[in-house]
């Protein structure tokens, strides 16, 4: 108990200092030596563009969170992952919130590392298509507080059999909005962020179906002067992992681009990246993409209710994103241009012959991997905290392009 109190007090001093630092002109050397926490560097707060001295998040009291979530009641539990639980709540002023409580790490040190890693990423992010951080709490555990997305995840809206199919117009708007969010993370954010866990259950929807990227538990900064970085262990979601990441632990912007291509195919088809029979969405979609028979990719529940011009753009972008070789994939800037009406140039994106002739790479035996509560295998998805990992797995990945 004394150790827990000491560590909580250290974190309080750390955050008090970090916020105070934004209001001070003291040198970096003095800042780095103040209120040290073993093995952890101070977190820089996000700064509001309108007021360079005002952080965009605040400290919540545990009592307020306890009241807002009705004592963290099980009926308010909306997400559970490898290292966190997410509860919905309503503050006294009527503000709906989502409280992410760090619960699953094996040690206090790992829990603090996970907490500060995610806070360090999201506290610098301000974009309409990224979940907004409202604040944190370090009393009685470690908690991150976000705006609550009332319509749940894209995954739940796509795959809930008891709900009507998501309209094409909404699907297209979600794809474009998500692309804007990832373009911001890669190109416009204060610090370039690689998400590493792009999937439909990590993209939430507001009341008007505006997509918001969430769950930065696996996110990593990529300094401007770096082309890539190597990470270990390999963490993420089967069906969404880029080949270079799964095989070698190489992470860069194109890692997210690959996963975004899988997300586009899921939006179009209404199929999970790997279905209950372990059939890969990529393997299924490849022949239709190669043959140009893209109508066959559309969710059959939509019938003829889709826009053919938008479908061409979505499928063309997806086919480029899921190419095996990272250098042959577009950037998120180029993906966004395609989705928003940019020129579709077959010659510009023509697949090199040697790439086009390569065989499938992949893995067929999933028995050796752990299965989560939804009965689907995953790789150390410690950064995930969705309601249910119902869109994971991958049996085969393939080099794909339009002929």
- Find out whether 36 and 11 touch, Cβ atoms under 8 Å: no
Percent helix, strand and coil across the chain, each rounded to 5? 35, 15, 45
Sign of the Cα torsion 133, 134, 138, 141 reads negative
In the 8-state DSSP scheme, what is residue 327? G
The residue written with tokens 């002739």 in the block is 357
Q: What is the dihedral of CA 143, 135, 385, 160, to 10 degrees?
A: 130
Q: Which of 28, 93, 197, 347 is catalytic?
A: 197
Residue-by-residue DSSP string for 367-394: TTSEE-TTS-EEB--TT---S---S---
The upper half-sphere exposure of residue 78, i.e. CA atoms within 13 Å in the direction of its Cβ, equals: 20
Strand-pairing partners, residue 77, are 87
CA distance 37 to 43: 11
Contacts of 250 (CB under 8 A, 6+ apart): 228, 229, 230, 244, 326
Q: Annotation-wise, does 100 bind a ligand?
A: yes
User: Known catalytic residue: 70?
Assistant: no
Instruction: Indicate the burial class of 232 (C-beta count within 10 angstroms; 0-12, 13-18, 19 or more).
Output: exposed
Residue 66 CB partners (closer than 8 Å, separation 6+): 72
Helices (H) and strands (E) in the chain, counts: 12, 18
- CA dist 9 and 38 (Å) reads 13
Catalytic residue list: 197
Binding-site entries for ATP: 100
């Amino acid at each position: 108990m004394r150790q827990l109190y000491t560590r909580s007090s250290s974190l309080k001093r750390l955050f008090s200092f970090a916020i105070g630092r934004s209001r001070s002109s003291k040198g970096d050397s003095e800042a780095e030596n103040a209120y040290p926490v073993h093995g952890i560097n101070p977190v820089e707060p996000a700064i509001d563009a309108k007021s360079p001295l005002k952080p965009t998040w605040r400290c919540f009291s545990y009592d307020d969170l306890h009241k807002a979530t009705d004592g963290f009641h099980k009926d308010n539990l909306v997400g559970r992952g490898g290292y966190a639980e997410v509860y919905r709540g309503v503050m006294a002023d009527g503000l709906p919130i989502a409280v992410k409580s760090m619960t699953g790490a094996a040690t206090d040190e790992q829990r603090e590392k996970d907490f500060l890693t995610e806070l360090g990423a999201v506290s610098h992010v301000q974009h309409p298509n990224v979940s907004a951080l409202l604040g944190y709490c370090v009393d009685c555990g470690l908690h991150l507080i976000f705006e609550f997305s009332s319509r749940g995840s894209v995954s739940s809206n796509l795959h809930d059999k008891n709900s009507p199919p998501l309209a094409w117009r909404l699907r297209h708007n979600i794809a474009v909005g998500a692309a804007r969010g990832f373009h911001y993370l890669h190109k416009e954010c204060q610090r370039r962020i690689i998400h590493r866990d792009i999937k439909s259950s990590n993209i939430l929807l507001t009341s008007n179906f505006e997509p918001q990227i969430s769950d930065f538990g696996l996110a990593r900064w990529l300094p401007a002067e770096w082309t890539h970085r190597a990470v270990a262990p390999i963490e993420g979601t089967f069906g969404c992992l880029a080949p270079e990441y799964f095989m070698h632990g190489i992470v860069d912007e194109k890692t997210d681009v690959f996963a975004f291509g899988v997300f586009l195919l899921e939006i179009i088809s209404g199929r999970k990246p790997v279905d209950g029979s372990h059939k890969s969405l990529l393997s299924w979609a490849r022949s239709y993409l190669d043959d140009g028979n893209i109508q066959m990719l559309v969710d059959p529940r939509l019938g003829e209710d889709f826009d053919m011009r938008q479908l061409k753009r979505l499928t063309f972008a997806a086919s480029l994103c899921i190419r095996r070789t990272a250098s042959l994939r577009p950037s998120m800037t180029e993906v966004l241009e395609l989705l928003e009406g940019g020129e579709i140039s077959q010659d510009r994106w023509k697949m090199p012959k040697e790439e086009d002739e390569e065989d499938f790479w992949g893995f067929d035996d999933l028995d050796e991997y752990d299965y989560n509560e939804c009965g689907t295998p995953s790789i150390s998805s410690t950064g995930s905290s969705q309601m249910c990992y119902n869109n994971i797995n991958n049996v085969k990945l393939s080099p794909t392009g339009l002929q």
